[in-house]
Amino acid sequence: MLKNNFYGTPFEMEEILEPCFPGQYFRAEDYRLSAKGQSDDYQAIQRAVDACSAQGGGTVIVSRGDWKSGPIHLRSHVHLSLEKDTVIHFSDIFTDYLPAVFTRWEGMECYNYSPLIYAIDCVNIAVTGEGTLNGSGEAWWHWKQLQQTAADKLCYAERDGIPVQERVYGTEEAALRPSFIQPVNCRNVLIEGVSIHNGPQWTVHPVYCENVIIRGIDIVSCGPNTDGLNPDSCRNVLIEDCSFETGDDCIAINSGMNEDGWRVNKPCENIVIRNCVMKEGHGGLVIGSGMSGGVRNIYATHCQIGGGDRGIRLKSMRGRGGFVENVWFEHIDISDVREEAVQINMYYPYSTVVPKTATPSDFKNITIKHITGTGAKIAVEIRGLPEHRLKDICLENIKLSAETAIVCTDVETIELREIDIHANVNKSTEFVNINSLKVQGFSVK
């Protein structure tokens, strides 16, 4: 018996407590005047944060109305609170996000443009309220077409012996876009209630954080690689009651990329996802493909995925290494996705940079059950590597309709229990190179 599984998880996990803040308040409107007496909305919120921090912490209130702001760097014990009908429009002037700060860009450590809301080495921080954060991402999105040279250099930096302190970007020529909200190496983090629109790249991206609550946020961002939420080498994370409409994955769990992920060697673990809605994205509930530091103890339940490319998606490729283990998805409805409702794929084809090794990933102890839905192209696709097969996969109580039923290749051990697939076009099932297949209740109509 587990000693503690507060969230009903199949692994031990204690309750994550919300951060507490001193009972003093600072209104951003009181900090609009610069030291020279000039009105300066761009720095008002940051000045209020700094003043709050200097006095031991508290709550910074941003009042209703439209605000223009440069990057906001949170400090320990500071709570940023947006009143209802508050809209913060972040600057679209790239140099406002300099000097470069330490960050993780698509799973690799470097120095780059500051995220729009950033914190490093902080304790007890929060961004909450009923307002909207607008990232002016349209100004950055075309950089997707310009980033390849810098992305290649960064991805191969660890292999080429380039230390992190020499991986300095933050130029238009490099064109590596920043995340929207990124706490790095922080403890006790709360992001709640706010609407977040159109970030430059990944939207909410906690890195190396512990004890994180993300609750009731609404993310709408339709640019390239504008993932909704990417816990990255974090520990003890609760994600609940959120909605996503994104230009890439809705929730993607990560832990570093290739050699740099192996060097850092920090898993993403103890993650609970519940009662979330995914309206559009490349994947709804996703692990990878940047999971080279390992992913374990993931529990996702009672979510709705209605639209987008794929529903549940676990992805890797030769060269990633790392592991994914102890994963449970249950009570998920997946309807009207354009490709696979459920996919575990070791041949992920869309990596920004191609790995230089063929190091495989270990995927094992993955349970997917109580899955319903209609309208997929393929109900279930599971593809391991012939030289390194998947292990201990369990599909239970799956009721889906799709054009094609099930494709399953290169799996060491898999159990199928109470599988009911309505295949509208291709009713055949494909099982190739399976060492142990246990079936109890299997129907394809």
Nearest to 254 by CA among 113, 351, 159: 351
Q: How far apart are CA 329 and CA 300, in angstroms?
A: 5
Q: How far apart are CA 111 and CA 102, in angstroms?
A: 5
CA 378 to chain centre: 24
Q: How far apart are CA 314 and CA 217, in angstroms?
A: 24
Q: Tokens for 367?
A: 């349970």
Q: How far apart are CA 184 and CA 118, in angstroms?
A: 8
Q: What SS3 state is found at 396?
A: strand
Q: How far apart are CA 92 and CA 250, in angstroms?
A: 24
Q: Which residues are catalytic?
A: 248, 282
Q: How far apart are CA 244 and CA 277, in angstroms?
A: 6
Q: How far apart are CA 89 and CA 73, in angstroms?
A: 15
Nearest to 78 by CA among 32, 106, 118, 136: 118
Q: What one-letter code names the amino acid at 229? A: L
Q: How far apart are CA 188 and CA 351, in angstroms?
A: 32
H-helix or E-strand containing 150?
Answer: helix 148-155
Kindly state the DSSP code that residue 250 receives in the 8-state scheme: S
Q: Which residue in the block uniquely carries the two structure tokens 């709408």? A: 220
